[in-house]
Amino acid sequence: MTSQFIITKEHRRFAEFADAVRKQNTIGVCFGPAGVGKTLSARRYAHWDSIGPFIARWAARSEDDTKIYAAAHRARTVFYTPEVSATMRALQDDLRHGPNPSLLELIIIDESERLTGNAVEWLRDQYDRTGIAMILIGMPGIEKQFSHYPQLYSRLGFAHQYRPLGHDELLFVLERQWRKLGKTLDPDDFTDAQAIAAVERITRGNFRLPERLLPQIQRVLKINELDVITNDVVEAARSTLVIGTT
């Protein structure tokens, strides 16, 4: 991961939601538009940056492992991303190789629109058998997709909307990015305020876009031998990012 994880308000809301799903042993659905931070939040909640690679490499065990065991013990959560149009068989194989089920309290499935009908049915059945809480993450509309599975749907405890980045948090992100470019961002300065407004207009709360925009801003500055990030610079940078900004 290139940049540092920011504990946003949305991340805290996600963590509360996940705690609630887990405490009530239910099934929760979390939905939100592309790039708002759903995957990163879930991975963070599950301590998956350390536990995930650990599970993947069964063989090597070292002194550091105790730390990871401790993290896993606290998290008691598995984070799982199914492959595109994941079949029931693939899901069974993958989830069977996870940690000891008796220690598991929550399974988080990312990109859950990839699940086939059978896979959804199998998960529902697993939930009934094991009572392990489950969170299904997806794009807006996923809640409706699940309504086609009445047995799963009737077990849903929560639907949580992951909202886009708010204004203050975007400012926080931009201040860091400006600093990376060796500049300081001052929201009270007219030029900066306009540049911020431009970024806000372009990204609309998508967390991924400001990061894609930054190298382009840097390029525009360099090519044009400019020093200040203005509204025009941001717009010029945007125009080079053809995909995903409209």
Ligand X SMILES: Nc1ncnc2c1ncn2[C@@H]1O[C@H](COP(=O)(O)OP(=O)(O)OP(=O)(O)O)[C@@H](O)[C@H]1O
| Positions in the binding site for ligand X (CB under 6 A) | 3, 5-6, 8, 11, 32, 34-40, 139, 207-208, 211
Q: Which residues, 6 or more positions from 30, have their beta carbon under 8 angstroms from its beta carbon?
A: 14, 17, 38, 42, 135, 136, 137, 138, 159, 160, 161, 162
Nearest distance from residue 101's CB to Mg ion, in Å?
A: 25
Whole-number minimum distance, CB 120 to ligand X, in Å?
Answer: 19
Q: How many CA atoms lie within 13 A of 43 on its CB side?
A: 13
Residues 107-166, interacting with Mg ion (CB under 5 A) = none
- Does position 39 interact with Mg ion (CB under 5 A)? The reply is yes
Q: Which residues pair with 38 in a beta bridge?
A: none
- Reading the block at residue 42, the tokens are 């879930």
Q: Which of residues 38 and 47 has its CB atom nearest to ligand X in the complex?
A: 38
Closer of 39 and 218 to Mg ion (Cβ): 39
Please identify, using beta-carbon distances, which residue of 109 and 124 lies nearer to ligand X. 109
Q: Which residue's C-beta sits nearest to Mg ion?
A: 39
Return the number of the residue (5 or 69) whose C-beta is nearest ligand X: 5
CB of 115 to Mg ion, least distance (A): 15
Q: How many beta carbons lie within 10 A of that of residue 146, not counting itself?
A: 24
Write the CA distances from 65 to 25, 53, 57, 70, 82, integer angstroms.
29, 11, 12, 9, 26
